[in-house]
Structure 1
Amino acid sequence: MSGHSKWSTIKRKKGALDAKRSKIFTKLIKEITVAVKEGGGADPAGNPRLRLAIQASKAANMPKDNMERAIKKGEGTDGNYTEVTYEGYGSNGVAVFVDAMTDNVNRTFQNVRTIFNKNGGSLGTKGSLEFIFDRKGIFVIRRNERFSFEEDAFLLEMIDGGAEEVSFEEEVVTVTCALEDFGAMQRKVEALDLELESAELQRIPKTSVAVEDPEAVRKLLKLIDALEDDDDVQQVYHNLELNEQVLAALEN
């Protein structure tokens, strides 16, 4: 689910991709369940968090039945998840921030700590990485038939909604805003009838750590992958800087 680890650019076998897809569904189901419980009910029209979770689920090609079961679970008495965060360091001083959602905090803490320890990292105290990461809203908007704006005009619309940065690519536009402007930006996107590929709060590193040794990078990516593969982990953020030369070495 972490969209900026860059590890997803490395080739994977079909079996690994299928397993990853199952993990993604598990995380999205949890997000839908919590969105219903805490975000304002089962009606997406009045529950922005649920609306985004459903949109993300559709983008991941989750079957409709799965989404409906998750909504019903959120309306019931089971599926009581707690949102927790963990902060630590991998090797070479790379900061790693973990967002998790769990029905057993002790289990999740033990699992996350074990993953850090087994992969050359160490779990830190809560708040120890606050100076490294900013929480930002990230909106990825599709440039399709509904996107009829010239870039300059669109930029002005996004600035009006609170955008800090707008990046234009061939198929999508990525808009970054401050945490406190997330709701306003969401309303702006909806008012303009734009199609979102994703919209979420992410932890963006203020500084990055460049690691040139491919084996050291491989070890760090193993830690990140192991964390992402844990069923209770929703997102993993880090400040590892990957350049094209290192990625090429990893693929060989």
Structure 2
Amino acid sequence: MVIDLNADLGEGFGIWRLGDDLALLDIVTSANVACGFHAGDPVTIRRTCAAAVDRGVTIGAQVSYHDLAHFGRREMDVEPEELCAEVLYQIAAVDGIARAMGGRVSYVKPHGALYNRVYRDEMQATAVVNAVADYDPSLSVVTLPGSAVHAAAAAVGVSTVSEAFADRAYTPQGTLVARGKPGAVIHDPAEVVARACQMAIEGSVTAVDGSSLSISARTICIHGDTPGAVRLAKEVQNALLAAGVVLQAFT
């Protein structure tokens, strides 16, 4: 059993800091680095990429709607050409800095509202995938199982990686419960650990109605902005290793 642990990092901006990136980089195997559209700035991106390279952590570009004011969590209608260009811009920015630090971007993961929108919206999914194909078709795109991204990516020869969320609640349809609803984010460490093990070992997750969903995920996300994220990530890491799971980046 091999699984990747990823976290959203580099989400500070100016004097504002969010989460403990350095501590999480000692735990995760992949880092989703904010590209400056929902969070992050050049200094933060540089520091995060440098720290990831030092620790041998794989770097991904976490692309978003251009929405700093709402942390990329506001769904937006963007023309396909514009969205494609904005995603291309973000990938190029982080990859350029990562290469200057001795690494490179190895995958792309949409953030927040864009992540949820491309699950069901073929037009926006295609725009995101086309940006990846234009920049480097060898990059993978991280998305939920069942997402429209999978078909859009296959059409242009881009690979996809299915993801699960240990600290987020699932609907019976296999989508994430909207953050505005009670219980959308799971804070209990024991529950988060149990869900991570269930995802990695059994390939399933329990939805909010108690039903069991089959999910074939290669990577599990622990949100860097969740209170107690470092503790959660460490406990997940320890439990997976104790269960015989190999923690390794999917790239």
> What TM-score bracket applies, with the shorter chain setting the length?
under 0.3
The structure carrying a bigger strand percent of its residues is 1
More helix by share: 1
Q: Which has the larger radius of gyration?
A: 1
Scaled by the length of structure 1, what TM-score is found? 0.26
